[in-house]
């Protein structure tokens, strides 16, 4: 089974944008996701000095939802107060750059906007930095990942709420699943769910 490390995506269902995150991990499988107000944190449960395994993974703003695999989540959210999603991703991913670990693990990020059939994905690795605005299509998701995904891939996803999205994402066939998070635009804001 393919190992993609951390993966995140954006999509559209029932005319509303959604985003998801799936944490796959070979080295640090003992992790939890914790909702605190309008943010979700990944908390590693074992003793380590690795600085990359506990981090804010989701931040919700009134009009945007930001998802990423590291500390950049909060900086992207902050940049969105002044800049477009495209500029926010370019500036923050360029500033943070890839992780200085044994794998030069890329930093990845996604943004969706309330009421818009548009999403943004970004990636910074050792060899490349890219940001793409994506026209979302009903029933489809577009995702990227830290390892073994070339750019952006598509998959079919249909669900009726954030819980079901998180469950379906966790069932996708990629190796070493730990947890999944669903973020869905609702009538009055964002819905969040974590699986398991």
Ligand X SMILES: NC(=O)c1ncn([C@@H]2O[C@H](COP(=O)(O)O)[C@@H](O)[C@H]2O)c1NC=O
Dihedral, 112, 113, 116, 122 alpha carbons, nearest 10: -40
Distance CA(194)–CA(174), nearest Å, equals 18
Distance CA(96)–CA(11), nearest Å, equals 26
Q: Find the part of the chain contacting ligand X (CB under 6 A) among 47-55, 59-67, 128-136, 151-159.
A: 47-55
Among 92, 99, 123, 183, binds ligand X (CB under 6 A): 99
Shortest separation between residue 44's beta carbon and ligand X, angstroms: 8
Angle between helices 72-79 and 85-96 (to 10 degrees): 140
* DSSP letter, residue 115: T
Q: Which of 147, 87, 96, 101 is nearest to 124 (CA)?
A: 96
Q: Does 72 contact ligand X by CB under 6 A? A: no
Among 103, 137, 154, 196, binds ligand X (CB under 6 A): 103
Shortest separation between residue 33's beta carbon and ligand X, angstroms: 10
Shortest separation between residue 29's beta carbon and ligand X, angstroms: 7
Q: Find the part of the chain contacting ligand X (CB under 6 A) among 20-28, 112-120, 137-145, 182-190.
A: 20-28
Among 28, 41, 96, 130, binds ligand X (CB under 6 A): 28
Q: Does 195 contact ligand X by CB under 6 A? A: no
- The set of long-range contacts for 25-34, using a CB threshold of 8 Å and a minimum separation of 24, is 25/53, 25/176, 25/178, 26/176, 28/53, 29/176, 29/178, 31/178, 31/179, 32/179, 33/57, 33/179, 33/181, 33/194
Joined together, the tokens standing for residue 48 give: 């380590």
Q: Find the part of the chain contacting ligand X (CB under 6 A) among 18-26, 129-137, 149-157, 164-172.
A: 18-26
Shortest separation between residue 70's beta carbon and ligand X, angstroms: 6
* DSSP letter, residue 10: E
Q: Find the part of the chain contacting ligand X (CB under 6 A) among 48-56, 131-139, 157-165, 186-194.
A: 48-56
- Binding site residues, ligand X, CB under 6 A: 5-6, 23, 25-28, 42, 50, 52-53, 69-70, 99, 101, 103, 105, 146
């Amino acid at each position: 089974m393919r190992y993609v490390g951390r993966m995140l995506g954006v999509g559209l269902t029932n005319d509303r944008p959604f985003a998801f995150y799936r944490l796959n991990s070979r080295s640090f499988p003992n992790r939890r996701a914790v909702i605190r107000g309008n943010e979700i944190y990944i908390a590693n449960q074992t003793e380590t000095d690795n600085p990359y395994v506990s981090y804010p993974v989701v931040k919700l703003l009134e009009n945007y939802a930001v998802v990423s695999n590291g500390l950049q989540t909060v900086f992207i959210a902050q940049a969105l107060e002044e800049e477009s999603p495209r500029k926010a991703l370019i500036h923050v991913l360029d500033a943070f750059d890839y992780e200085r670990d044994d794998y030069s693990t890329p930093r990845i990020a996604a943004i969706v906007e309330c009421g818009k059939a548009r999403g943004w994905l970004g990636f910074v690795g050792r060899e490349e930095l890219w940001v793409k605005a994506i026209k979302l299509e009903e029933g489809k998701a577009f995702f990227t990942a830290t390892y073994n995904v070339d750019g952006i891939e598509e998959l079919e996803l249909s669900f009726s709420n954030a819980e079901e999205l998180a469950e379906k994402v966790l069932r996708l066939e990629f190796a070493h699943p730990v947890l999944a998070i669903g973020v869905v635009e609702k009538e009055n804001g964002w819905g969040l769910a974590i699986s398991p």
